[in-house]
Amino acid sequence: MTPTTATTRTVVAAIGIAATLAAGCSSPPEPYTVPPTETYSLAPLPQGATAVASTALPPPVQCGDPTASLRPFPAGQIPDSASLDAIRQRGRLVVGLDTGSNLLSFRNPTTDEIEGFDVDIAREIARDLLGSPDKVEFRVLNYAEREQALEDGRVDIVAKTMAITCERRQRIDFSTVYYDAHQRILVMAGSPVRDVSDLAGRRVCVGEGTTSLERVERQQPDAAVVTVPMWSDCLVMLQQNQVDAISTDDTLLLGLATQDPHSRIVGPNMGDERYGIGVAQGNEDLVRFVNGTLERIRRDGTWEKIYDRWLSELGPPPGPPPATYRD
């Protein structure tokens, strides 16, 4: 502040005080009123966030081993296939995924490219089928859309942290397992939540249409569950104290935790999530081809390289899960 400015403000203030005193001598003072205080409201919930009513769940669907898939074609012996030829003629593999799962499938803010563990797996399939990992077209889906997008033919495959289950096998087919994840809990530092028993009466965010939702409902029916279309919405709600915890696969939780140093992954494994590539039901040739790519990346070290690039904070590479075949 310059001396001139200070002098000017002093003069103005003095004039204001004198005027106030003069007015007070000529008229009665007005009654004093308390000035209004600022009001605050909670941040709105993310679009699509829904409170889930607690209901009795039916017994899980049984089908034997849901992870058993079709054996790959013998090396160098891929037969003529209408479904594979259609992809080749199009010149690109259409992949369903999301862009809100950090480390798995997300949009790099610097390059604007979609990257992540699942993305690299999909690119390896494109490499084998079309000769280049870049011949892919990504279509963004929320979790509840995955099966329908395959049934409608909107995508060729889904590479979106999709756990293989008997219930899903009623609608779509799967590759062999390409990653074994484990469901845990994410909280903010200082939270009293340590395991699933502590979620009773607390607000828990999970993805809509996910196996994580069903597992929370079965293991802690007294939790107040909120579902969202994207996992990134869960992190926002946790940061704004709109939920007390997030529960899903450790891979997804790691991606969220890297975005907030005040968050913590806690608790033991609540259950295994065995990821597979989703394929439209009846498209056996594409299932076999995808399984051929997964066999290759298990053998040649590509799987470990992809793991080290994206998921090394979970620990040393556990090794690719072995394939189980039903034929």
Question: Using H for helix, E for strand and C for coil, what is the string for 82-110?
Answer: HHHHHHHHHCCEEEEECCEECCCEEECCC
Q: Name, in order, each residue with C-beta under 8 angstroms of 201's C-beta and a sequence gap of 6 or more.
A: 222, 223, 224
Q: Select 183-266's CATH number: 3.40.50.300, 3.40.190.10, 3.40.109.10, 3.40.50.720.
A: 3.40.190.10
Measured in degrees and rounded to the nearest 5, phi and psi for residue 286 equal -70, -40
Helices (H), the chain: 3-26, 82-90, 117-130, 146-151, 166-169, 211-219, 231-239, 250-257, 284-299, 302-310
Q: pTM (2 decimals)? A: 0.84
**Greatest pairwise CA separation for the chain in angstroms:** 105
> pLDDT under 70 in the chain at which residues?
1-42
Sorted by where each begins, the domain ranges of the chain are 66-71+79-181+271-314, 183-266
pLDDT of residue 31: 52
* Assigned superfamily of 66-71+79-181+271-314: Periplasmic binding protein-like II (3.40.190.10)
Q: What is the pLDDT of residues 123-145, one digit of tens each?
A: 999 999 999 999 999 999 988 89
- Rounded to whole angstroms, how far apart are CA atoms 262 and 259? 9
